[in-house]
Amino acid sequence: MGMTLAQKVFSRVAGRAVDVGQIVTVRPDRAMSHDNTAAIAKKFATLGVEHVKYPDMHVIVLDHAVPAPNVDHAINHKEIREFVAAQGIRHFFDAGTGICHQVMVEKGLVGPGMLAVGSDSHSTSYGSVGALGVAIGRSEMAVIMATGEMWFRVPESMKVVLSGRFGTMVSAKDLALYMLGRIRADGATYMAVEFHGDAVARLSIADRFTIANMSAEMGAKAGVFPQDGVTDAFIARSGTAAFDARPDPDARYAITHAFDLSQVQPMVARPHTVDNVAPAAEVRGVKVNQALLGTCTNGRLQDLAAAAAILKGKRIHPRVRMLVVPASRKVLMDAMDAGYIRDLVEAGAMVLNPGCGPCLGAHEGILAPGERVISSSNRNFKGRMGSTQAEIFLGSPQTVAASALAGEIIDPREVA
């Protein structure tokens, strides 16, 4: 019997062939933590071990509330910098470098076939480059720091077969939301989702990133694009190490879904669950006060380009505060060079420091009671971006830009 990608990755790190359902205690290739590293370090300190076992395994990125919005966050960051220095952790990226998941991929710290754990639910994003990105909790990260190992259950896998081509103004985010409407927010719980089909070759790393990122919203343990030519071209540029990241043709999947990209319309997730989706055209007319473009879900160059193309030479609606959060400093600089930042700012947008920004409600654009946001981020839970009486609608960069222009949610094809 052939192996799924998840089985192959766990077999390699376990040093033996493993079956689905087996519990394995293994050493991950990478372990990512962010602003939560101070809390992790405090748990680590109670374990009775002085030194982090494998300092080079760890990647620490400050991104969740940067630059520090208050004294508590500033202390938190200071403690992390001191921990990093004391433990000799080389892969440390301070405020302004970018969002942790983007930094992992962009800096070539995660590659095909790796087992990369992160103390952040959207660690599934590493599947964009063929890695098994698995989210863990803070206690687990503290234990990995001490022992270098963690237990995992080898997951069942879901096969998602993608065919067809996107229509005008339709992109990876719309597909992710469309899939969420079908698979639901718990449809992939405990499973590794593998993406297959002829359409995959036409999806860029940025597209794959958005989809792998949103796999977390289906409850998935991981969401992975098997290694192909697109992956190889990317890792050649970023200089990333690679292991085997191709499932066997006769691998067994717990369930298979098929989606035709040509059938996908611009989609919106309505409050307060990610799978409460509808075509943007059906949500049309919902007035918005804020429009958020960017985040780890949709903050890469092609996302900013898509929004800039819609907003260039126009003015956003006076009711709308538009915020742009590039996923990294590199993305910000590339977008400056390409003129996208100028287009967005001239249209009335505010550009924020690369980081998590207002996505998790820590700072930089908190919502008041009764306000609504159209956001290219990944979660629309009640209270997430501020008041519990605010409403979060999720959409693509195109839908966010078009809605910012209109002052209300619209199908971006209306402004095409």
Site residues (vs another protein, CB under 8 A):
23, 35-36, 38-39, 42-43, 46-49, 64-65, 70, 72-73, 76, 118-121, 123, 135-140, 142-143, 146-147, 151, 185-186, 189-190, 219, 221, 273, 360-362, 379, 381-384, 388
Q: Dig out the tokens for 301 from the structure.
A: 């160059």
37 vs 403, beta carbon nearer another protein: 37
62 vs 103, beta carbon nearer another protein: 62
**In the complex, what is the shortest distance from the CB of residue 27 to another protein, in angstroms, rounded to a whole number?**
15
382 vs 413, beta carbon nearer another protein: 382
- List, as own/partner pairs, every contact residues 137-143 make where C-beta atoms lie below 8 angstroms and the sequence separation is at least 24, other chains included: 138/36, 138/39, 138/40, 138/43, 139/43, 141/31, 141/33, 141/36, 141/40, 141/117, 142/40, 142/41, 142/43, 142/44, 142/47, 143/47
Q: Would you give the distance in Å from CA 250 to the centre of its chain?
A: 30
Rg (CA), the chain: 20
Buried-exposed string 133-155: b where 16+ CB fall within 10 A, e elsewhere:
bbbbebebbbbbbbeebbebebb
CA distances from 22 to 1, 34, 154 (A): 16, 30, 6
32 vs 301, beta carbon nearer another protein: 32
Q: Dig out the tokens for 203 from the structure.
A: 């999806």
**In the complex, what is the shortest distance from the CB of residue 171 to another protein, in angstroms, rounded to a whole number?**
24
**In the complex, what is the shortest distance from the CB of residue 211 to another protein, in angstroms, rounded to a whole number?**
18
Question: How many other C-beta atoms can be found within 10 angstroms of the C-beta atom of residue 335?
Answer: 24
End-to-end CA distance of the chain: 49
**In the complex, what is the shortest distance from the CB of residue 348 to another protein, in angstroms, rounded to a whole number?**
27
**In the complex, what is the shortest distance from the CB of residue 273 to another protein, in angstroms, rounded to a whole number?**
6
124 vs 328, beta carbon nearer another protein: 124
CA distance 382 to 406: 25
138 vs 196, beta carbon nearer another protein: 138
**In the complex, what is the shortest distance from the CB of residue 369 to another protein, in angstroms, rounded to a whole number?**
13
**In the complex, what is the shortest distance from the CB of residue 411 to another protein, in angstroms, rounded to a whole number?**
27
Q: Would you give the distance in Å from CA 371 to the centre of its chain?
A: 25
Please report which residue ranges of 88-137 form alpha helices under DSSP H: 100-106
CA distance 331 to 299: 8
72 vs 250, beta carbon nearer another protein: 72
**In the complex, what is the shortest distance from the CB of residue 170 to another protein, in angstroms, rounded to a whole number?**
27
**In the complex, what is the shortest distance from the CB of residue 67 to another protein, in angstroms, rounded to a whole number?**
14
176 vs 320, beta carbon nearer another protein: 176
Strands (E), 250-349: 255-260, 267-269, 277-279, 290-294, 321-325
324 vs 392, beta carbon nearer another protein: 392
Contact (Cβ atoms closer than 8 angstroms) between residue 407 and residue 289: no
**In the complex, what is the shortest distance from the CB of residue 346 to another protein, in angstroms, rounded to a whole number?**
32
Report DSSP letters for 300-317, one per residue: SHHHHHHHHHHHTT----
Q: What is the largest CA-CA distance in the chain?
A: 61
Please report which residue ranges of 107-196 form alpha helices under DSSP H: 138-147, 172-183
96 vs 219, beta carbon nearer another protein: 219
